[in-house]
Amino acid sequence: MSVELRRNGLQLVGTPLFLDATRKTPLSFVSHAHADHIGRHERTIATAATLRFMTHRLGKVHAPLPAPYGRPFDLGPLSLELLPAGHILGSAQLRVIREDGKRIVYTGDLNLVPSLTAEPAQVAECDLLVIESTFGHPRYAFPPREEVFGQVETWVRRHLERGAVPVLLGYSLGKSQEAMKYLSSRGFSLVAHASIHEVALLYGELGVPIERMRCFDGRVDPGEVLFFPPHAARGGALSSFWPRATAVLTGWALDGPGAARRYGADVAFPVSDHADCASLVRYAKATGARDVITHHGFAEELAQVMRAEGLDARALGQPKQLALL
């Protein structure tokens, strides 16, 4: 059993189960609620938190199948189990065990660094690993999380002291809430775009409260830090605030100064909720997988690195090369 890329998305071969399909399917596992991983399926397997975020984004989820972490359940002849992925609140990996005992794990987006707002990732032991490769190129090596957040805090303080509005750009779901959690704990007052604020309130409902924040109503009071999603910051939405300084929180910051310019920001900080290349390799080794399939992002580059490390890895869609006897 393996995975194939269908028109609707990834499918576990020989089963009705799709994996993070973005088009409607009869049945899909959804690893987390970012827009590029969700769809309006006939049945959806996900954690309760992911289903709550999906409802917020898509409206009512038809036939949800909520599954807690670490509690196996049956799907026909298969045994399924969700394990934390560490990416955002409620994110999960899926382990499938066949009748013959073979274990297949699909990670979805994965983050192995402890997060302030997500469940810590758990190593999912398996025989076949299907692993995301967003930052699978060797040039992506993220600095320590606490070091980067310290740099963000220093930047914020510096601009507040000179009377400027510090604006932090981050995804509405996940990254913004973690940065808000950090800055709130450091005593900062926060004001957030409605899309970010609404999700932050959901985080509170799900047991991860974020203090010292309010919803953006067109004004920023002295001493407040403004959070905006990158798409909403374009087109002059922030032009009335001056002086201001804008930073984007993204793993793509490691691409160099051009990363900030792409987002219309002054500076980019490498805050990512994904694992970097070396972490993905370490994770694959820790699972004990005999076969690894990389997908999404730098799939071929990651597979090459893994093969150099002794793993039997290939990018999704690439045939497995058999050794000549």
297: CATH: 3.60.15.10
Same domain for 9 and 126, yes or no, is: yes
Beta-carbon contacts of residue 160 (< 8 Å; ≥ 6 apart): 166, 223, 225
Same domain for 13 and 123, yes or no, is: yes
Domain extent for 50: 3-139+274-315
pTM (predicted TM-score): 0.93
Same domain for 18 and 56, yes or no, is: yes
Local confidence band at 4 (pLDDT 50, 70, 90 cut-offs) = confident
CA–CA dist 266, 218 (Å, integer)? 22
pLDDT digits (tens, 9 = 90+) for 203-231: 999 999 999 999 999 999 999 999 999 98
Does a structural domain hold residue 128? yes
Does a structural domain hold residue 323? no
Name which of 203, 36, 195, 23 is nearest 108 in CA terms.
36
Pair of tokens at residue 60: 């009512």
Does a structural domain hold residue 162? yes
Same domain for 111 and 133, yes or no, is: yes
Same domain for 210 and 291, yes or no, is: no
The HSE-up count of residue 239 (CA atoms within 13 Å, CB side) is 4
pLDDT digits (tens, 9 = 90+) for 151-167: 999 999 999 999 999 99
Same domain for 152 and 235, yes or no, is: yes
Q: What angle do CA 110, 115, 120 make, to 5 degrees?
A: 60
Averaged over 243-255, what is the pLDDT? Answer: 97
Same domain for 225 and 283, yes or no, is: no
Report yes or no: 252 and 229 within 8 Å, Cβ to Cβ. no
Report pLDDT for 319: 53
Helices (H), the chain: 48-58, 145-161, 175-185, 194-205, 258-262, 277-287, 299-308
Averaged over 90-106, what is the pLDDT? Answer: 96
Local confidence band at 323 (pLDDT 50, 70, 90 cut-offs) = very low
**Considering 269, 284, 301, which residue would you say is the last residue of a domain?**
269
Residue type, 220: V
Quick one: what percent of the chain has pLDDT higher than 70? 97
Report yes or no: 6 and 14 within 8 Å, Cβ to Cβ. no
Does a structural domain hold residue 325? no
